[in-house]
Amino acid sequence: MRLPALVSREDIISLEKKYVWPPYTSSELHETRQPLVIVSAEGDYLEDANGKRYIDGVSSWWSRTLGHNPPRLKAAMHRQLEELIHVAAGGMTHAPVALLASELAQVAPTGLIRTHFSDNGSTAVEVAVKIAFQYWQQNGRPGRHRFIALSGAYHGDTLGAASLASIEEFNRVYGPLLFEIVRPPDVSAGWDKVLSGIEHQLLTRQDEIAGVVIEPLIQGASGMQIHSPEVVARLRELTQRVDTFLIADEVFTGYGRTGTMWAVDQARVTPDLMCLGKGFTAGMLPMAATLATGRVYDGFRGGDERALMHGHTFCGHALGAAVAREVLAIYREEPILEGVAKRAETVARFFHERIARLPGVRRVRTLGSVGAADLGDSGYRGRVGPKVYEAALRLGAYLRPLGDTVYIAPPLNVDERVLDTLLETLEAAIIAATH
């Protein structure tokens, strides 16, 4: 236990209850539950103030792709801390940002050569939407102000990103503030129907559609719904046919989560815009980015009135950029993606052979390091998922569910024995929660 002197676990909890306003939590729950008080996190583990350790089975909201505090990333951060921490991006630049942008252009799908830096995934999406909209405004298609986004989409919580999402629980409250989205048939109708719906919308409303926004291969927050690379390739064809934009939100799927560096790699396509977050700094610091093709960038040439009028105080934070560069160096120099392929087999085998057979489990699916199982049919309001969560905590794993969908998304380089333990813990927790 490494608690700061004079602050007990009980003090922390009572201050938290009295002063903190946490996300996605009712006031009653916030004021009655006992949150985990985390004192340290290293590698695959979290440690609480009672000295109990938990496997971080969801990489702390999918962000700690390389585990907690990898030494190389800590060292890069320390080095940068001694040099330069942050200056405004207005009229100034520095080595970390310039080098990072050039390195991203090397590693991104061919053609994505420009990077706009921001500080969270929602904003990365928000910026992509504004870029697409403004591009058509000033390049001869001013009627293009609508976006197509899928049922089950999640793209973040700021108003623009939330408009794209179609998760009822998130949109119910803010509906009147959100802009209208063109929505193809529900994914539950099957991908053929979704794709032919999008084709129809694109062909009949091509003067209106500024872009199609997708989470390629895995729709994360709506319950780890997986689709094939052909869906992504088809969407690229369809958007190309009417010359509108494909926007890939890789905030979750990027950096190897699905087995390839980018999910769009599996469809062999380059989107016009690509959004990155979460794994961008391997969850070390809040930093995100929107990547664009040269064509998109060129649509903003021609004077002041055509400039992208979007920016943030922390565009291109030097500390974040230094860490993000080291993340790319790790992917270049260490076999991270090969490691995902190996672990993906373990995850797939366990989910299909063991989890799928448990009474109460309705459906399983896996891709890359992600494995998911549906327990009830109540979606976000489901009560079985939270019981699995409680049981897993008792057994030593942090497995925050998405309602009745329980899943793992551990660090990509999770120790293989820890992965086995995590899978067995999930199995035991499901059994405990459904008996």
Ligand X SMILES: *Cc1c(COP(=O)(O)O)cnc(C)c1O
Active-site positions?
24, 154, 249, 278
**What DSSP designation does 148 have?**
E
Q: Estimate the share of the chain in helix, then strand, then coil, as percent rounded to the nearest 5.
A: 45, 15, 40
Burial of 72 (0-12, 13-18, 19+ CB in 10 A): middle
Candidate segments 119-127, 300-308, 318-326, 347-355, binder of ligand X by CB under 6 A: 119-127
Toward ligand X, which CB reaches closer, 372 or 429?
372
The residues, any chain, with a CB within 8 Å of residue 398's CB and separated by 6 or more, are: 36, 46, 54, 55, 56, 57, 58, 392
143-172: which residues touch ligand X (CB under 6 A)? 154-156
**Ramachandran angles phi, psi of 113, nearest 5°:** -115, -5
Candidate segments 214-222, 340-348, 384-392, 393-401, binder of ligand X by CB under 6 A: 214-222
Residue 247 engages ligand X in binding (rule: CB under 6 A):
no
Sole binder of ligand X in the list 59, 122, 134, 281 (CB under 6 A): 122
137 is written with which tokens?
């405004």
What is the nearest approach in angstroms of ligand X to the Cβ of residue 63? 8
Candidate segments 43-51, 132-140, 248-256, 333-341, binder of ligand X by CB under 6 A: 248-256
Residue 272 engages ligand X in binding (rule: CB under 6 A):
no
Contact between 61 and 286 under an 8 Å Cβ cutoff? The reply is no
What is the nearest approach in angstroms of ligand X to the Cβ of residue 100? 18
The identity of residue 52, as a single letter, is K
Interatomic CA distance for residues 369 and 281, integer angstroms: 18
Among the residues of 206-335, which ranges form H helices? 229-241, 294-298, 318-333
What is the nearest approach in angstroms of ligand X to the Cβ of residue 353? 28
What is the nearest approach in angstroms of ligand X to the Cβ of residue 197? 21
Treating both helix axes as pointing N-terminal to C-terminal, what angle do 229-241 and 191-204 enclose, rounded to 10 degrees?
Answer: 10
Treating both helix axes as pointing N-terminal to C-terminal, what angle do 95-107 and 318-333 enclose, rounded to 10 degrees?
Answer: 40
What is the nearest approach in angstroms of ligand X to the Cβ of residue 220? 4
Toward ligand X, which CB reaches closer, 57 or 220?
220
Candidate segments 73-81, 247-255, 258-266, 304-312, binder of ligand X by CB under 6 A: 247-255
Sole binder of ligand X in the list 59, 80, 118, 120 (CB under 6 A): 120
What is the nearest approach in angstroms of ligand X to the Cβ of residue 14? 28
Q: What DSSP line would sit under 238-273, residue for residue?
A: HHHHTT-EEEEE-TTTTTTTTSSSSGGGGGT---SE
Toward ligand X, which CB reaches closer, 276 or 414?
276
Residue 57 engages ligand X in binding (rule: CB under 6 A):
no
Candidate segments 194-202, 213-221, 300-308, 425-433, binder of ligand X by CB under 6 A: 213-221
**Ramachandran angles phi, psi of 168, nearest 5°:** -50, -45
Contact between 366 and 319 under an 8 Å Cβ cutoff? The reply is no
Q: How many residues bind ligand X (CB under 6 A)?
A: 15
Sole binder of ligand X in the list 147, 245, 252, 407 (CB under 6 A): 252
Toward ligand X, which CB reaches closer, 116 or 278?
278
What is the nearest approach in angstroms of ligand X to the Cβ of residue 218? 8
Toward ligand X, which CB reaches closer, 156 or 223?
156
Q: What does the binding site for ligand X look like in residue numbers (CB under 6 A)? A: 120-122, 125, 154-156, 215, 220-221, 249, 251-252, 277-278
